Structure 1
Amino acid sequence: MLRPSLRRYLSTVKWSLLPIVVLLAALLLRGGGFGAVVSLIVIALTSSIGPAWFRRAALTVTPSELAVTGLIRTRRVPRDAVGSIVTAALPRTHKNSRSLAHLYVLDRGGRRLARLKGGRWVEDDMRRLIATLGVETFKLGRLASPRALARRYPHAVPLLERYPVLAGALVVVPTVVAIFLISREFSS
């Protein structure tokens, strides 16, 4: 059984969390009652969901199946459905950022069965999984972006990772709307 590394995750995301922490602190201190409630709800959710995922998440290989356990469910596939493994070093946020190893377990049709992201999983576990599964492994080296990987393996990379602008918009637009609504609430 392989588990993600909380220590690895915290070391890779520590600086990207700073703007969120500052926003939550500003809401808590300057947002009045409504801001304090929103801030405390966000803090409570993230401080409970994140550790719960790290306690629960696992990748298990048995002689008959591959089981991927997430926060809510465990997805099981027969071990003989595993077709190949693809490894690639992908940058964290943009082309010039530090690259982290990623591993994708694909079925015979090229669809993703499991993924070990470099920000959460250590390379030793990735090597152990490759050795345990014993299927054909394609080592791509450093790629410019997840979209470059998706050109070769279209079903391996989720849509939001292929188009990070879309993922950013899904975060920025609701945040701007929330800030607008909060500022309207306090200006009246």
Structure 2
Amino acid sequence: MNRVVRAAATVILLAILVPLLVLSSAAVGPAPRHWSGVSLSGWELPLVDARPRQEPGTVRAPHLDAVTDRLIARGDGGWQAVVPLHDGSVYVETTRLDPSLFAELGRDFGGDRVSVVYAPLAPQVSPDGGGGVPAQTLWQRTDPLVTWATLMFGFPWQLGAALLLTAVAYVVAARARRRRAAGTAAVPAG
């Protein structure tokens, strides 16, 4: 029973740790890359804004319209904005992280030209002024289960780092248990 509890605790820990590693990597430094090559370059909440900044003199990226047209053609209302950056790339601000979004952007534009910013609480917008898009609840717009699955399994470096940290923690704990068991067995009863 003890092993079952430890295994369940490990799964729960990884389910929390990996998405947090991905989001913290996006906020503080090198943007984590999805399997498709597209990076998650930041995220935005009401009190935390960790998205890339436009620098003065940013010119319009040549593929900005193509990215926007591709997003409109998807028929997915999850994206909020397409913003050009100083290095010639663009970022797509979206309320949900969908594996198909990453795959399509990576296939069509490559990871160096497009990145994604996660903004789960951004208000709903529509490119046609709201004419054909029905209003969605926060749950429908953000799709938290798909977003969690994308954060959990879509970023190989963070997943690998969490698995490695978990393995190291188990090895250290096992060695400590063996050391304690060897210490109590060496002391004669008397």
Structure number, greater radius of gyration: 2
TM over 0.5: no
Q: Which has the higher contact order (CA 8 A, sep 6+)?
A: 2
The structure in which a higher percent of residues are strand is 1
TM-score (normalised: structure 2): 0.29
TM-score (normalised: structure 1): 0.29
